[in-house]
């Protein structure tokens, strides 16, 4: 008798089946968080997939094995047809998770989403203290709106996750963040250390916590988990510049999940476009199954054959898959290199040094190069 | 009123159910039933599945245990212990309401 996480694939040659799909419905967003996970080159409104294409893609995703779709952005509520898009995912049989900033989503539209079968809502909150929360978001009033929307989520009986991205300016308030999530009625909180890609990489020295802060935060999370077991699930994303081993990026390249960007390009992860030379296919020209099986970008780093030493002969190669390909490229210039977060990487000392660089500079906020319409 | 004693006992008249946001679905592509929850996917083994399929919010714990004991021709005490352990574990993970 057991309830376990499913394993991927059924045999040595079987192509794994994806479990999750991150659907970036738009890159438009009213907030300017300096660690936004969107790429530096944001897609414009006119390139976005229409609702009918998303509906077709959700059907293909379910047939491929996808169980959960994460409706994200940018701010997904910037899409006027969000309810229609969500309903089509639900109709395809997918578990629907809305990842929202809470800004631009009215209570009325949330009610409509709940009526149409939305399964779960995740709201990002930038800090437990209002003034710094609004400063980090680059948007006055964001904190108040997020709290009001969270209350409505709970009133509707929907499960709520609060996502807190932590960095040097707020990492000392993890206890307050968990207290806030409990007050709001959340059943889950993500304490996610900044990952340094895109906008966060531009702001790295401003965001980087000290080692002392990181160690205190790890102890705080352990204490809070023990204290609140059964009341709230606390998931933590580790601060990998301070780690000894790299994160197993999404459980392996092209193995468990895929990402579709607003214009329809299908990526193994949201940051994959930073790697030069990868060929991404679009749902405008191919079925999702074709892309998952055959697109050059998905095949590039699948499995372990692409590895160099020290990864190729490492006993951990099927545990962490050499770490993150995007990070390997960003920090070493070679996407096939060992993620230098790993102590076994010849370039590890550079990462350890970067983890010790803190700067008090103003945020370089995320922004659209060409002003986006309709935001 | 508990059927068994101890800190993890569940009331005999509790009516366990999956809360909103937790769904048991049959996925052809994944080859069977999966339990879907916020950011998590679980694959129940056949016994766990048999228990979960009875957590409708209508049946009481006693009725579920009776039903399983009859279906699997197994001693009631053992079924009760198994069901209690599974349901308590799921409730701690916010995957079940008791």
Q: Which tens digit of pLDDT belongs to each residue from B45-86?
A: 999 999 999 999 999 999 999 999 999 999 999 999 999 999
Residue A157 above 80 pLDDT?
Answer: yes
CA of A368: how far to CAs of A27, A261, A287, in Å?
Answer: 9, 16, 30
Best mutation target among B36, B38, B86, B97 (most A Cβ atoms within 10 Å) is B38
| Least CB–CB distance from A119: residue in B23, B29, B93 | B23
Best mutation target among B18, B21, B65 (most A Cβ atoms within 10 Å) is B21
pLDDT at B8: 75
**In the predicted model, what is the mean pLDDT of chain B?**
90
DSSP-assigned letter for residue A240: G
Which residue from A256, A324, A297 is spatially nearest to A68, judged by alpha carbons? A256
Which residue from A150, A158, A155, A174 is spatially nearest to A227, judged by alpha carbons? A174
Q: How far is A275 from chain B (nearest CA, A)?
A: 27
Q: Which H or E element spans position B42?
A: strand B40-44
Q: Determine whether the interchain pair A119/B82 forms a contact, defined as Cβ–Cβ distance below 8 Å.
A: no
Cβ A161 vs Cβ A189: under 8 Å: yes
Q: Taking a contact as any Cβ pair under 8 Å apart, which residues of chain A between 99 and 138 contact chain B?
A: 119-120, 122
Mean pLDDT computed over A295-305: 94
* 3-state SS, residue A17: coil
Overall pTM > 0.80:
yes
Mean pLDDT computed over A157-172: 96
Give the contacts of A10 (CB within 8 A, at least 6 positions apart): B31
**In the predicted model, what is the mean pLDDT of chain A?**
93
Residue A261 above 90 pLDDT?
Answer: yes
Q: Determine whether the interchain pair A3/B42 forms a contact, defined as Cβ–Cβ distance below 8 Å.
A: yes
What gap in Å lies between CA A15 and CA A29, rounded to an integer?
A: 36
Q: Determine whether the interchain pair B38/A67 forms a contact, defined as Cβ–Cβ distance below 8 Å.
A: no
């Amino acid at each position: 008798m057991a309830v376990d996480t499913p394993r991927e694939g059924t045999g040595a040659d079987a192509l794994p089946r994806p479990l999750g799909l991150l659907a970036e419905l738009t890159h438009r967003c009213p907030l300017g968080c300096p660690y936004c996970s969107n790429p530096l080159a944001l897609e414009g409104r006119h390139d976005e997939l229409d609702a009918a294409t998303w509906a077709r893609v959700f059907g293909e995703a379910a047939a491929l094995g996808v169980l959960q779709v994460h409706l994200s952005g940018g701010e997904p509520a910037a899409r006027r047809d969000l309810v229609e898009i969500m309903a089509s995912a639900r109709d395809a049989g997918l578990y629907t998770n809305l990842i929202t900033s809470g800004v631009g989503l009215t209570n009325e539209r949330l009610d409509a989403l709940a009526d149409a079968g939305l399964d779960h809502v995740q709201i990002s909150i930038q800090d437990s203290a209002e003034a710094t929360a609004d400063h980090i978001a680059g948007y006055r009033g964001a904190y108040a709106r997020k709290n009001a929307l969270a209350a409505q989520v709970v009133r509707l009986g929907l499960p709520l996750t609060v996502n807190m991205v932590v960095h040097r300016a707020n990492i000392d308030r993890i206890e307050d963040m968990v207290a806030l999530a409990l007050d709001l009625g959340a059943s889950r909180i993500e304490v996610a250390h900044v990952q340094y890609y895109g906008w966060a990489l531009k702001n790295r020295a401003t965001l980087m916590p000290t080692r002392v802060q990181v160690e205190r935060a790890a102890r705080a999370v352990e204490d809070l988990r023990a204290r609140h077991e059964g009341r709230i699930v606390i998931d933590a994303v580790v601060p990998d510049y301070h780690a000894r081993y790299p994160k197993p990026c999404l459980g392996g390249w092209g193995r468990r999940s895929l990402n579709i960007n607003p214009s329809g390009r299908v990526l193994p992860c949201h940051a994959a476009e930073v790697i030069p030379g990868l060929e991404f296919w679009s749902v405008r020209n191919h079925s999702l199954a074709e892309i998952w099986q055959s697109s050059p970008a998905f095949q590039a780093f699948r499995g372990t054959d692409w590895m160099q030493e020290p990864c190729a002969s490492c006993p951990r190669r099927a545990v962490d898959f050499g770490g993150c390909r995007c990070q390997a490229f960003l920090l070493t210039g070679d996407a096939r290199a060992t993620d230098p977060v790993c102590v076994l990487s010849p370039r590890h000392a550079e990462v350890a040094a970067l983890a010790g660089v803190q700067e008090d500079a103003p945020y370089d906020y995320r922004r659209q190069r060409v002003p986006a319409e309709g935001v | 009123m508990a059927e068994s004693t101890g800190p993890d006992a569940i009331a005999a008249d509790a009516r366990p159910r999956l809360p909103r946001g937790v769904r048991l679905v049959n996925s052809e592509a994944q080859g069977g039933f999966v339990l879907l929850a916020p950011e998590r996917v679980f694959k129940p083994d056949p016994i766990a599945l048999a228990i979960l399929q009875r957590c409708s919010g209508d049946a009481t714990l006693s009725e579920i245990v009776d039903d399983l004991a009859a279906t699997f021709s197994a001693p009631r005490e053992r079924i009760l212990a198994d069901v209690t352990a599974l349901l308590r574990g799921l409730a701690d993970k916010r995957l079940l309401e008791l």
